[in-house]
Amino acid sequence: MTAHVTAPVMALARAGVQLGGYTLLSDVSLSIRPGERVALVGANGSGKSTLLRLLHGLLPATAGVRSAAPAARQAMLFQRPHMLRASGCLNVALALWLNGVPLRLARTQARQALARVGLTDVADRPAKTLSGGQQQRLALARACALNPDVLLLDEPTASLDPHAKRDVEALLAALPQALTLVFASHNLGQVKRLATRVLYLEHGRVLADLPVADFFDHATLTGVSPEAHLFVKGETA
């Protein structure tokens, strides 16, 4: 009897990205399946943000092939999300309206989305006056209100204080299991808590792609990628 294999929601085949004469990604092949929690780790400049943008379609592959399930809806959160000069509620409602939801219904759904991230009390405040943690939760509400199948996040808690980091991480941990999550992070504790799979990047190449338990097993990781082992050892020393 043949086991059922779920089709990937996105995939790369020997993909590369060059910009301005610089190679940002090289020879990356991977597939991501529904419900996976994939963490991208590596030093600054290793290619994590570029890989996220390539997967989301914001950057074209200048080599190889990028593919995505045609029916899969994607959303992406940036480290410093852009806030419109409007209330928190209207920031979410406009995103829904641009995706075809009538404005009156969009306002109702926006308030429901803000309630899910604990922002009911600031829904009518200008979004740009909110704290960094509140803006990140607002951005998460705005993305999740669109009911994406895939959510990509670029260092979603990097610029937040410890309390705000815990709040955002708790929201990510509570996302539906069917939602595919791909996120870049320097916080290896966060990676352990949230990820099911880890990709280690260095100089635009993926040098390790392992289940999270194997990535943090020193013997396994050393055998797969000595470079990744040195990175983890340095980050956790």
- Does 128 lie in the same domain as 224? no
- Answer for the pair 39, 51: CB distance below 8 angstroms, yes or no: no
The amino acid that residue 212 corresponds to is: V
Which residue range is the domain that position 19 belongs to? Answer: 10-72+149-236
In a domain, 5, yes or no: no
Q: Which tokens in the block code for residue 81?
A: 């999300």
Over residues 77-112, the pLDDT tens digits come to 988 889 999 999 999 999 999 999 999 999 999 999
- Does 54 lie in the same domain as 92? no
- Does 221 lie in the same domain as 154? yes
- Does 153 lie in the same domain as 139? no
How far is it, in rounded angstroms, from Cα 158 to Cα 55?
21
- Does 16 lie in the same domain as 41? yes
For the cut 90, the answer to whether the pLDDT of residue 6 exceeds it is no
What secondary structure does DSSP assign to 47-113, as a single string?
A: SHHHHHHHHHTSS--SEEEEEE-TT--EEEE-SS----SSBHHHHHHHHHHHTT--HHHHHHHHHHH
| pLDDT at residue 2, as a whole number | 47
- Answer for the pair 165, 6: CB distance below 8 angstroms, yes or no: no
- Does 108 lie in the same domain as 134? yes
CA quadruple 224, 227, 229, 231: dihedral sign: negative
How far is it, in rounded angstroms, from Cα 19 to Cα 114?
38
| pLDDT at residue 1, as a whole number | 44
CATH number of the CATH domain containing 25:
3.40.50.300
